[in-house]
Copies of this chain bind each other. A is one copy, B any other.
């Protein structure tokens, strides 16, 4: 990632739902860091969101990142 902007200062969130949103953000950044070209990304976007298998693969990445964030937050117990 050439991006030097600060976008992930912490994994700690106030609520599980905020943590879930962060998991979605992490998943998007993972894709973006592998393919930084915005034009190509735009072209591929429909596969993630309009193709069932791509959508399921995206959701699996969200689930993995939510595992990380939930543990980081000590599961908001």
A24 smallest CB distance to B (angstroms): 5
Tell me if A17 and B21 are in contact (CB < 8 A): no
* Copies of the polypeptide in the assembly: 6
Choose from B26, B76, B77 the contact partner of A20 (Cβ within 8 Å).
B26
Q: A15: nearest residue on chain B (CB-CB)?
A: B9
**Which one of B50, B54, B57, B75 contacts A71 once the chains associate, using CB atoms below 8 Å?**
B75
Chain A positions 42-77 with a Cβ under 8 Å from a chain B Cβ: 44, 47-68, 70-73, 75-77
| A residues apposed to B, CB below 8 Å | 1, 6-12, 15-17, 20-21, 24, 26-27, 29-31, 33-35, 37, 40, 44, 47-68, 70-73, 75-77
